[in-house]
Amino acid sequence: EAGVTQFPSHSVIEKGQTVTLRCDPISGHDNLYWYRRVMGKEIKFLLHFVKESKQDESGMPNNRFLAERTGGTYSTLKVQPAELEDSGVYFCASSQSGQGILFYNSPLHFGNGTRLTVT
Amino acid sequence: AQSVTQLDSHVSVSEGTPVLLRCNYSSSYSPSLFWYVQHPNKGLQLLLKYTSAATLVKGINGFEAEFKKSETSFHLTKPSAHMSDAAEYFCVVGNTDKLIFGTGTRLQVFP
């Protein structure tokens, strides 16, 4: 079984530019999550898709961040325009469908992350 | 609100000696707790999880953790460290459909 795949693995952009991160979840996984870890801080939740719908986007830092999951398969996370404080590692995770507390019986599978550097 | 605190940012051990990574949690109700590990340039991997079935939880690669409600702790242990255990370890508490991570403990293993 292929794991969660994230592209690119690294991205270096200048402040003010746009970057789009992509996540391909495990096939058949309805739940898709984005997390990020900015330098020196803990990993924080950004948002959660169930299929193509945003279940919870309470962790999105501001309106410069836009996540989509058209068709309920892969997801993109766009940062526009990027700021210096957006630098960090962006993780994607997926899990199978379930009810309630999803990941207790359906573990999260994480990708290797995208390291974003904004200069 | 739920949270976890990892008491050590770095831990160094010699190969073959025990490992102890400390974690305290805060939760107003019975928590679901996890330990994840991240090896360099890899994704986060679930080591073990506690969901109230048993207080001593066994995970992969010889790791285990004990849930102690009286101490609000969920420390991760391993009897004998291996070089391949060198990685960053995260204590995590589950909150419905999202995970709340600790700041991580980097484990170094010396030969």
The CA distance from A14 to the nearest CA of chain B, in Å, is 23
Closest Cβ opposite residue A104 in set B43, B51, B101: B51
Those residues of chain B whose CB sits closer than 8 Å to some CB in chain A are 32, 36, 41-46, 49, 51, 90, 94, 96-104
More confident: A16 or B31:
A16
pLDDT at position A8, please? Answer: 97
The CA distance from A18 to the nearest CA of chain B, in Å, is 24
pLDDT, one tens digit per residue, over A2-26 is 799 999 999 999 999 999 999 999 9
Residue A101: pLDDT band by 50, 70, 90 thresholds? very low
pLDDT, one tens digit per residue, over B48-102 is 988 777 889 999 999 999 999 999 999 999 999 999 999 999 999 987 778 899 9
With CB atoms and an 8 Å threshold, state whether A111 touches B43: yes
pLDDT, one tens digit per residue, over A59-90 is 999 999 999 998 889 999 999 999 999 999 99
- Which stretches within B9-99 are classed as H helix? none
Across B7-32, average pLDDT: 93
Q: How far apart are CA A8 and CA A105, in angstroms?
A: 30
Report whether pLDDT(A103) > 60: no
Q: How far apart are CA B70 and CA A103, in angstroms?
A: 26
pLDDT at position B22, please? Answer: 98
3-state secondary structure at position B98: strand
pLDDT at position A100, please? Answer: 44
With CB atoms and an 8 Å threshold, state whether B103 touches A59: no
Report whether pLDDT(B37) > 60: yes
